[in-house]
Homo-oligomer: A and B are copies of this chain.
Amino acid sequence: MKKFINAPADVLAESLRGVQAAHPELRVDTANRVVLRGEPTREGKVALVSGGGSGHEPMHGGFVGTGMLDAACAGEVFTSPTPDQILAATRAADSGAGVLHIVKNYTGDVLNFEMAAELASGEGIRVESVVVADDVAVQDSTWTAGRRGVGTTVVLEKIVGAAAEEGADLDAVLALAQRVRGNGRSMGVALTSCTVPAAGKPTFDLPDDQMEVGVGIHGEPGRERRTLASAHEIARMMVEPILADADATGSAIVLLSGLGATPLIELYLLFGEIAPLLAEAGVDVRRSLVGDYITSLDMAGASLTVVRADDEMIRLWDAPVVTPGLRWGA
Contact = CB atoms under 8 A, between A and B. Distances in A.
A302 B263 contact: no
Interface in A235-270: 260-270
Interface in A42-86: 54-55, 57-58, 62, 77
B208 A269 contact: no
Contacts of A272: 14-21
Contact of A297 (B2, B263, B268, B302): B263
A50 to B, nearest CB: 17
A292 interface: yes
Instruction: State how many copies of this chain the complex holds.
Output: 2
A14 B230 CA distance: 12
Interface of A: 2-6, 11, 14-22, 54-55, 57-58, 62, 77, 191-192, 208, 211, 228, 230-232, 234, 260-273, 275-276, 285, 288-290, 292, 295, 297-298, 300, 302, 322, 327-330
Nearest to A326: B327
Contacts of A275: 18, 21-22
Given A271-B22, A329-B330, A264 B57 contact: yes
Contacts of A302: 4
A5 to B, nearest CB: 6
Given A14-B272, A21-B272, A271-B18, A265 B2 contact: no
The 5 A-B residue pairs with the shortest CB-CB distance, nearest first, are: A18-B272, A18-B268, A261-B261, A21-B275, A17-B272
Contacts of A298: 261-263, 266, 300
Contacts of A290: 18, 22
